[in-house]
Amino acid sequence: MLTRNHFDDEGCPVSQNPTPRQLEPLGHAVPSTVPTHWYNLAADLPEPTPPHLHPGTQQPLTPDDLAPLFPMALIEQEVTQERYVEIPQTVREIYATWRPSPLVRAHRLERALGTKARIYYKYEGVSPVGSHKPNTAVAQAYYNALEGTTKLTTETGAGQWGASLSFAAALLGLTCEVWQVRASYDAKPYRRFQMEAYGSVCHSSPSDLTESGRAMNAADPDTTGSLGMAISEAVEAAAKDPLAHYSLGSVLNHVMLHQSVIGQEVLTQLADTEEKQIDVAFGCAGGGSNLAGLTFPLIGQNLREGTTTRVVACEPAACPSLTQGEYRYDHGDVAGLTPLLKMHTLGKDFVPPAIHAGGLRYHGMAPMVSHALNLGLLEATAVDQDTAFRGGVEFARAEGIIPAPESTHAVAAAIAYARTAESDGQSVLIGLSGNGVLDLPAYAAYV
């Protein structure tokens, strides 16, 4: 029997973690191709990213404001201007189980498209949960454990983030409690099973376990939930428990930092190819973390060394925060408990339609990605769901990997570009943020 069926005095399930806390490196060799530092675009930006504001005072946040939610190491990373931040060896050891992730030339896709572009993809689906999210989950769990947190709370949509944090919590000896958007909790149980296998507890959100959840249920008993609602619940649960902290899988600066291992590896791996640079890079954008991870190191190189890589953020037409949203301060959650973030937003109360790419259903966009768009350092395009899946199927049939529904947005945009004459002779990079093996019902619905 899995470890989930333990209950507290009030009959709520309690997450159990049998793994002993292991924060010291185990001392095994880590290949030198696993990055030693995270890269921070803030050091190379021509103008600083606008600060996060306190939701009450509207003044820039202080470290003390964030201390109830995050460990100090992550609070420092949220505001650091240092170009490189050293990756703790324990985190590198865990990364080494799947990093460096492959950079693959998509020869068969090129042939299928008849393109004169050279297409590469950087494949994050080789991680234990099948996406890029563990890159930050492991780092966040590590710093929390180091500072004495025993439990992490978080929200999840389709479940990729909940599964990633559960994986990281298990390896680092933390318990983990996840609020999952109700629509996904009901329709997509497999990632919940994954979370439970790792020892976490997963609640359907809005739940009756928090004040904000009870208020949202009272306002609309039939709500299908949203990420914004689930965030309110997870933040409230962490704020009320002195041994618990909250963990966010995207959007915040420290998450962009941790994900930079992706693009840094690309730069190293390119040295073994004929390419001097990537000409155009496509990444899907929900909260912005895989896009930032893949492309901020390339944008940094543009700014420092004069390379001319174009970066295209690919978002769903159904949740178009970058292409249709306003660039202004907004809350990250529905209840307004989180700091105000300057971002491209559709409004905190926006409930996106139930598209298959659950990871792209967020009303806002990372402040750093929003700022980079505003500065003209990247471009954005919206892709509709049918076009995205058509691209995903084309990719699967040529290359064999079934892309995550989120990743298909980048795949489809790259395919469309590779079909144009403009791409002749260019190098094109696709951020393949995850695989779609647990999302096959979405493919079945399309095919």
Ligand X SMILES: *Cc1c(COP(=O)(O)O)cnc(C)c1O
Task: Return residues touching ligand X (CB under 6 A).
Answer: 131, 133, 160, 250, 284-291, 359-360, 404, 406-407, 433-434
d(CA 61, CA 66): 8
Q: C-beta of 222: minimal distance to ligand X in Å?
A: 26
For residue 379, give both structure tokens: 């471009």
User: Is 285 or 355 the residue whose CB approaches ligand X more closely?
Assistant: 285
Q: Which helix (H) or strand (E) holds 88?
A: none
User: Is 160 or 309 the residue whose CB approaches ligand X more closely?
Assistant: 160
Alpha carbon 344 to chain centroid, angstroms: 17
Residue with the CB atom nearest ligand X in the bound state? 434
User: Is 15 or 164 the residue whose CB approaches ligand X more closely?
Assistant: 164
Q: C-beta of 286: minimal distance to ligand X in Å?
A: 3
User: Is 75 or 404 the residue whose CB approaches ligand X more closely?
Assistant: 404
Place of tokens 């296998």: 197
- CB-side exposure of 201: number of CA atoms within 13 Å? 20
User: Is 391 or 434 the residue whose CB approaches ligand X more closely?
Assistant: 434
Backbone CA torsion sign across 182, 188, 193, 194: negative
User: Is 145 or 395 the residue whose CB approaches ligand X more closely?
Assistant: 395
User: Is 171 or 360 the residue whose CB approaches ligand X more closely?
Assistant: 360
Q: C-beta of 78: minimal distance to ligand X in Å?
A: 16
Please give the angle made by the CA atoms of 409, 50 and 54, to the nearest 5 degrees: 105
User: Is 61 or 404 the residue whose CB approaches ligand X more closely?
Assistant: 404
φ and ψ at residue 196, rounded to 5 degrees: -70, -35
Q: C-beta of 252: minimal distance to ligand X in Å?
A: 10
Max CA distance (Å), the chain: 66
C-alpha to C-alpha distances, 53 to 75, 257, 343, nearest whole angstrom: 14, 20, 12
User: Is 203 or 258 the residue whose CB approaches ligand X more closely?
Assistant: 258
Q: C-beta of 290: minimal distance to ligand X in Å?
A: 3
User: Is 250 or 385 the residue whose CB approaches ligand X more closely?
Assistant: 250
Q: C-beta of 369: minimal distance to ligand X in Å?
A: 8
Q: What is the DSSP letter of 110?
A: H
The residues pairing with 121 across neighbouring beta strands, listed in sequence order, are 104, 430
Across 397-425, b (16+ Cβ under 10 Å) vs e yields: ebbebbbbbbbbbbbbbbbbbbeeeebee
Q: Which helix (H) or strand (E) holds 343?
A: strand 340-345
Backbone region of residue 284 per phi and psi (left: phi > 0; alpha: psi in -120 to 50; beta: other values): beta
Q: C-beta of 359: minimal distance to ligand X in Å?
A: 3
d(CA 78, CA 329): 17
Q: C-beta of 256: minimal distance to ligand X in Å?
A: 9
State which amino acid sits at residue 267. L
Q: C-beta of 10: minimal distance to ligand X in Å?
A: 32
User: Is 177 or 406 the residue whose CB approaches ligand X more closely?
Assistant: 406
Q: C-beta of 392: minimal distance to ligand X in Å?
A: 12
Q: C-beta of 129: minimal distance to ligand X in Å?
A: 9
For residue 107, give both structure tokens: 């020869």
Residue 22's nearest CA partner among 174, 136, 149 is: 174
Beta-carbon contacts of residue 422 (< 8 Å; ≥ 6 apart): none
State which amino acid sits at residue 167. F
d(CA 129, CA 438): 10
Residue 74's nearest CA partner among 320, 245, 313, 301 is: 245
